[in-house]
Amino acid sequence: MSGLKLFRADTTNSGMIEVMPRLAGIEAEVQGLVEAHMETLLGVRFLASEYGTGPVHGGRIDSLGLDENGSPVIVEYKRGVDAGVIAQGLFYLTWLLDHRAEFEHLVRDRLGGTAAAQVLWSSPRLICIAGDFTRYDVHAVREHRRSIDLVRYRLFGNDLLGLETVASVSGSTQTVRRARRRSVAQGAPDARSAGMAALADAVDEVLLGLGDGVNRVDRKTYRAYQRLRNFACLCPPQRSKLLVYLKVDPKDVDIVPGFTRDVSGLGHHGTGDLEVQLRTPRDVERAESLFRASYAAA
């Protein structure tokens, strides 16, 4: 985003006016914007602001949330560059892992018992939102075994907010990536077909290969592929097809019966309003442009 230039059409002179980027006047300005629209901006349901960690620990977590896959999320904000933001966030993440019951009680109060029962403790996340990060921050994130996203923000004018993912590492997927050719449906009783298992591996390979910032989160009923937010969810193979759900607006796609389907408002595992049905390797090739579009929008 440091090289991004944004222009607004000048209807008076039929020209273009550059909208200059700026940092927030105070940290709370960024925090307030993100917390008010957290699900839209980060794919995270907001739980609490300035959450106290008790007299012994003596801290206050900027924001607590729960992401699309049920993973606990800590969000820390800095107005500009702050070398301590990652260490501070990891400090709070350690506290969170030691206070799981307290967090689940908070989820139950805010989102209900079903959400509390489905909290995914295998991949808690830390999202750091700041004016910028140093190369040392990026290196530090890649050396950690935690799920961490570094997000750079900029304000443009009075009504535009830009977010750019600078680095993204998922602690729960590092081992999985080294064994990515292992079937996505290993051990599933309804996925014994070698052809379906190979097809699932091919989809996995394509989705992970879309960019450096792709992380993978496994749930019982689907596998999520995410940048900052989910952009694809792969369900366990059925006998004759795979179902992939994408964050693509079905209205922007030519729906092809038997290949794509608009599932807006319909219940299904995973997230996304466009269902893609895959039966052959050729279908995977046909779907790659849709995969890329969903990845770009995440």
pLDDT confidence of residue 48: 98
Token pair for 77: 């904000």
Token pair for 48: 């609490």
Contact 239, 193 (CB under 8 A): yes
Mean pLDDT of 46-71: 94
pLDDT at 205 over 90: yes
pLDDT at 189 over 60: no
pLDDT at 274 over 60: yes
Q: Which residues contact 103 (CB under 8 A, 6 or more apart)?
A: 64, 72, 96, 119
pLDDT confidence of residue 14: 79
CA 33 and chain centroid, separation: 18
Sorting pLDDT into bands at 50, 70 and 90, what band is 11? confident
Considering the four listed CATH numbers 3.90.1210.10, 3.90.1170.50, 3.40.50.1220, 3.40.1350.10, the one that applies to the domain covering 23-169 is 3.40.1350.10
pLDDT at 183 over 60: no
**Global confidence as pTM:** 0.84
Sorting pLDDT into bands at 50, 70 and 90, what band is 172? low
User: Mean pLDDT in the chain?
Assistant: 90
pLDDT tens-place string over residues 228-266: 999 999 999 988 999 999 999 999 999 999 999 999 989
Using CA atoms, how far residue 57 sits from 65, 100, 201, in Å, is 20, 15, 44
* Cα angle, residue 210 at apex, residues 263 and 274 outer, rounded to 5°: 5
Token pair for 266: 């319909």
pLDDT confidence of residue 56: 82
pLDDT at 20 over 60: yes
Domain extents for the chain? 23-169, 178-297
pLDDT at 191 over 70: no
Torsion of CA 270, 101, 128, 231, to 10 degrees: 0
Sorting pLDDT into bands at 50, 70 and 90, what band is 198? very high
pLDDT at 192 over 80: no
pLDDT at 162 over 60: yes
